[in-house]
Structure 1
């Protein structure tokens, strides 16, 4: 009897333009090892439900025509998908076999859990680099920067396409010297197609309120459009497309 692969998920949804090319079926898995101060997603495995890969694929199949017509596909996000590597790998592989474009949205902190087989089934990695400063990264996420940079280098070596995501948080990730260092690093990675500079927002506040935990960035302002454009231009100055 063949074992059934299951995973813990929060939800799924359809999106356009923010989770990879075209219209995407976006699968939100539960659980994350990082504790980003602005996080609006799921930290705990208990915040979700168990589903089988077959159940996920049945839902994706309902959207297949819509996804393929739009040039879209399937994105696995979180939480952190690499916290559940077997489940993530099987969903990606099944989607790839079905002829659907696949994307993995990850912090890269658990990049060592993504074996070459998982990455071979991944057309695009949306890699979230929270900061290029070691101390800021630790204070902002509770984790270490090194694993993410190592994962980026590995993806480049394997030729896996990447979109880099960088959340611009005033007072935290707006230091232009650090951003210039990240831009130089990214410019050396031939498989990076673009950088998305994402202005900080406060959508995570409701999650903290529900947990009864003070939202640490409640008084942090959203970045001015001019600052966001300055950061994007910093990447462009190093030859990297930035949006």
Structure 2
């Protein structure tokens, strides 16, 4: 039986343009896609990842209100530094919660020949309409995606983030089917994701995808813990230290990081 369509939500606008809720921006991002990039971190996320270092991005419909034209004006002064590989990245929070804004912004960027990158955990992904049609339109103006796979096991994924991962893996499959370039990222966390059996399973899964240009192991860190204390939120990984360099190297081996060099082309 076909799924019923999703109810359309009201999209805030100003002067005919979709309003985005921006948490912050970075002018010279070097780890958010190829090259040097202007990065907009958008507000709002459904997941409650235990290791999230930006809990201040969780709340929706808050932050700095900007139209796509205003954000583009903020980015363009730095274009001279982007070179051939750089460009703009929309990150989060979770950017797919503001998919209409992303479509407008990336459409304007592509008209100017600017490389576009989407950084997502994939949690909002669905093939139900009208959302899926919007996502397809977004892919038409997206050059590359950074996709976080938090955990390969769906039950463990739910414990870690509050959500299962089936639709996230469906996103990865769809991106593979349309041959859209992706970088896969995985946060290595002692006592949560740093288990050889799960890493081996994740490595085997990534091998089934035909569009992966890079795989990154991101060592868990505690740099955002102070935000939890300031916001009065219990930090669920209290006492867990970052992984050792040996465990990071082990994860990189099990995820076959060295096999993915497409990002160097």
Residue 92 of structure 1 aligns to a residue whose secondary structure is helix
Distance 1:91 1:13 in 2: 16
Contact 1:187 / 1:240 at 8 angstroms: preserved in 2? no
* Aligned 1:216-231 pairs, distance under 5 A: 216-231=236-251
Could you say which residue in structure 1 is the equivalent of 2:80?
65
Could you say which residue in structure 2 is the equivalent of 1:94?
108
Could you say which residue in structure 1 is the equivalent of 2:211?
191
**Residue in structure 1 matching 2:37, options 9, 24, 39:** 24
Could you say which residue in structure 2 is the equivalent of 1:165?
185
How many Å apart are 1:179 and its aligned residue? 1.0
* Alignment deviations for residues 185-211 of structure 1 (CA, whole Å, 9 cap, x no partner): 111111001110000001221221121
Runs of 5+ unmatched residues, structure 2: 1-13
How many Å apart are 1:103 and its aligned residue? 0.5
Matched, 1:76 2:76: no
Distance 1:237 1:197 in 2: 8
Contact 2:145 / 2:181 at 8 angstroms: preserved in 1? yes
* Aligned 1:32-71 pairs, distance under 5 A: 32-41=45-54, 42-67=57-82, 69=83, 71=85
What is the number of equivalent residue pairs in this alignment?
A: 242
Distance 2:174 2:92 in 1: 22
Question: Could you say if the C-alpha distance between residues 65 and 240 of structure 1 is closer, same or farther in structure 2, counting changes exceeding 3 Å?
Answer: closer
Distance 1:135 1:4 in 2: 40
Contact 2:147 / 2:185 at 8 angstroms: preserved in 1? yes
Runs of 5+ unmatched residues, structure 1: none
Contact 2:120 / 2:148 at 8 angstroms: preserved in 1? yes
Matched, 1:212 2:232: yes
Please, what TM-score do these two structures have when normalized by structure 1? 0.94
Distance 1:230 1:17 in 2: 25
* Alignment deviations for residues 59-115 of structure 1 (CA, whole Å, 9 cap, x no partner): 111111112x26311010000000011001111111122111111000011123452
Contact 1:23 / 1:70 at 8 angstroms: preserved in 2? no
Residue 84 of structure 1 aligns to a residue whose secondary structure is helix
Distance 1:167 1:209 in 2: 22
Distance 2:143 2:155 in 1: 32
Could you say which residue in structure 2 is the equivalent of 1:8?
21
* Alignment deviations for residues 122-145 of structure 1 (CA, whole Å, 9 cap, x no partner): 111100000111121101100111
* Alignment deviations for residues 7-45 of structure 1 (CA, whole Å, 9 cap, x no partner): 111011124431011101000000001000111221002
Which piece of structure 1 moves more, 208-217 or 225-234? 208-217
Residue 241 of structure 2 aligns to a residue whose secondary structure is coil
